Amino acid sequence: MQTLKVALGERSYPIFIGEGLLEQGLMNPYIRGRQVMIVSNETVAPLYIEQLKASLDSAWKVDEVILPDGEQYKNLDHLNLIFDALLEKRHNRTTTLIALGGGVVGDMTGFAAAAYQRGVDFIQVPTTVLSQVDSSVGGKTGVNHPLGKNMIGAFHQPRAVVIDTNVLNTLPERELAAGLAEVIKYGLIYDSEFLGWLEQHMDRLNARDPETLAQAIYRSCEVKAEVVAQDEKESGIRALLNLGHTFGHAIEAHQGYGQWLHGEAVGAGTMMAADLSARLGWLTTSDVQRVRTLLEAAHLPVIPPADMDEAAFFELMSVDKKVLDGQLRLVLLKRLGEAVVTADFDTALLQQTLSAGEALGQS
């Protein structure tokens, strides 16, 4: 087992990474009261909830709420199911919520924990690559609104993150690829050496080699923990973690949540960010080709949906959380391994990227 720490003063917490951790009771020391509410969904619960329950202290009152599965249920209506269960089962302010699932369950559980009785503890037990390398760490929680992705939420840090890499064996192929989009992101924005390592190891990641996956998860969480420790509430460097996300969130909202997976939309969005960075003269043609080759090697889309035009992108991107005083800001690449958040780009170049369509898939 490997351990990392997210250093946030009195709100610091550990990230445990290893095989078979679900059964090891690692979260028990982080549960302060005697009540636990496990939040999961109808896909993940049948696979893993019993293992998790068996690892908890038998003296505790353990309840569960099982949500329908899907990004389309990440909304205020379904958040209410968690509050209903907490109130019906008489959970008090010392309860601990445990999120057992991917990023949807994690984001909703975290937000429920942030709001229930003005804030209770929660623990993340992420079960997808995406949630293990990104969403379970850093305390961003929330739900979608029909007019924008993740628009209703709160910063609320978990007490611990327990990453059992064995659970990835049951993950569908498409979800594996979607998670790799966020892994590639860390290489592109922060660590060119890791980017090179990913280029060499993508075959083994696709084949779910446990050792290679564990290394990729560890380095991803390490970068995320470093960034979050420097800028918890995203007033600076943390925004870089949104490479490809402004384009990607627009794709998700346009297609209807759950049609394109978040990671797939981030894949195409990353390609668009690389394309615009090249138009600005920051990346070379061969840099852009490296980005394209790596995304394709991870089985991710590199072109946006055919039915999305420039106007659709502009409308949806205008509600992005990085818009300040009406000005759109984007995460772009100064070079491979270094990103910036900037509003300083020529709108004509952005228009060229937004209308490039299939050309993004060609060198």
Piece of the chain touching ligand NAD by CB under 6 A; list 60-68, 167-175, 194-202, 213-221: 167-175
Q: Where are the alpha helices (DSSP H) in the chain?
A: 44-55, 76-88, 103-115, 129-130, 173-190, 192-206, 210-230, 245-255, 262-279, 285-297, 310-317, 347-354
Q: What tokens does 346 get?
A: 């020529």
As a whole number of angstroms, the distance between CA 363 and CA 290 comes to 10
Q: Which residues pair with 65 in a beta bridge?
A: 39
In the block, tokens 């300083």 appear at 344
Run of H or E including 338 = strand 338-342
Query: Counting contacts by CB under 6 A, is residue 171 touching ligand NAD?
Result: yes
Q: Is 146 helix (H, G, I), strand (E, B) or coil?
A: coil
As a whole number of angstroms, the distance between CA 138 and CA 225 comes to 7
Query: Counting contacts by CB under 6 A, is residue 162 touching ligand NAD?
Result: no
Site for ligand NAD in 236-265 (CB under 6 A): 262-263
Query: Counting contacts by CB under 6 A, is residue 103 touching ligand NAD?
Result: yes
Nearer to ligand NAD, 49 or 283 (CB): 49
As a whole number of angstroms, the distance between CA 172 and CA 6 comes to 29
Q: Which residue is nearest to ligand NAD (CB)?
A: 103
Neighbours of 186 (CB within 10 A): 26
User: Which active-site residues does the annotation give?
Assistant: 118, 140, 182, 224, 234, 238, 242, 245, 249, 262
| # residues near ligand GLY by CB under 6 A | 6
Query: Counting contacts by CB under 6 A, is residue 106 touching ligand GLY?
Result: no
For residue 248, what are the CA distances in angstroms to 131, 191, 209, 361?
17, 22, 28, 16
Piece of the chain touching ligand GLY by CB under 6 A; list 159-167, 236-244, 268-276, 315-323: 236-244
Query: Counting contacts by CB under 6 A, is residue 156 touching ligand GLY?
Result: no
Query: Counting contacts by CB under 6 A, is residue 138 touching ligand GLY?
Result: yes
Nearer to ligand NAD, 272 or 280 (CB): 272
Instruction: Pick from 85, 178, 223, 308 the residue near ligand NAD by CB under 6 A.
Output: 178
Q: Which residue is nearest to ligand GLY (CB)?
A: 241
Site for ligand GLY in 11-40 (CB under 6 A): none
- Residue 209 in contact with residue 331, Cβ under 8 Å? no
> Which of the choices ligand GLY, ligand NAD, none does residue 238 contact, using the CB cut-off of 5 to 8 A by kind?
ligand GLY
Question: Residues in the site for ligand NAD, rule: CB under 6 A?
Answer: 41, 43-44, 47, 69, 71, 74, 101-105, 107, 127-128, 130-131, 134-135, 138, 140, 150, 167, 170-171, 175, 178, 262-263
